[in-house]
Amino acid sequence: MGIFDKLRNAANSAVNSAVSQAINSIGNKKETFTFSKLPESLEELQALPQASLDSPFKTAALSVLALCVYGADKERGIEMLNFLKGPRPLSGSEIAFLDDRFSGGQWYVPFSYFKGATPDNNYTPTEPFTLEVESNQNSAVNEGYMTLWLKSGGADSPRQISLRMKGDGRWFLWEQFIMVGIRTPKSQDPWA
């Protein structure tokens, strides 16, 4: 074995060890994130301490913030989501999916993940804005990937978000399944 092979093996071993440590330390865990205000631009998002993206929980929380912005300003939302997606920006089909989800005044879906947001109060979160992101024993089934869950005030079961770890230890948004149907807010429910 040559010196290059030894160096490459050592580097691969270090990365695999970091991934294994991150995955094994997750288990059943809940992390709470509190924001005094929601960012309105990519710069404001990047200024948050969670923007280090050094844990999948942080990236998941910031993804909810970016989706809140997308509902109000599509271009700014795309900038934020592309930052969170890292080397794999939003595809045309992902943008079309989000456009469909936000059509018909469904801006409230990402807000439903904040504490205090329910159909009865039209998904108005309590302030400061608080999110809980959870893992379980199945979160790290695939090496380098993490599946986490968020509870919506408008759904009976938690929704999942998947993240992928880059070789430098940062976690990026891979897929989100949080922009799905929830109960209609009271103000839009003709049966309320």
Least confident span in 5-19, 32-46, 87-101, 121-135: 5-19
pLDDT computed for residue 190 by the predictor? 85
Enumerate long-range contacts of 162-168, CB under 8 Å, 24 or more apart.
163/56, 163/59, 163/60, 165/19, 165/22, 165/56, 166/86, 166/87, 167/15
Q: What burial class does residue 143 get, using C-beta atoms within 10 Å of its C-beta: 0-12 exposed, 13-18 middle, 19+ buried?
A: exposed
pLDDT computed for residue 105 by the predictor? 84
Query: 0.75 cut: is pTM over it?
Result: yes
pLDDT computed for residue 13 by the predictor? 63
pLDDT computed for residue 192 by the predictor? 78
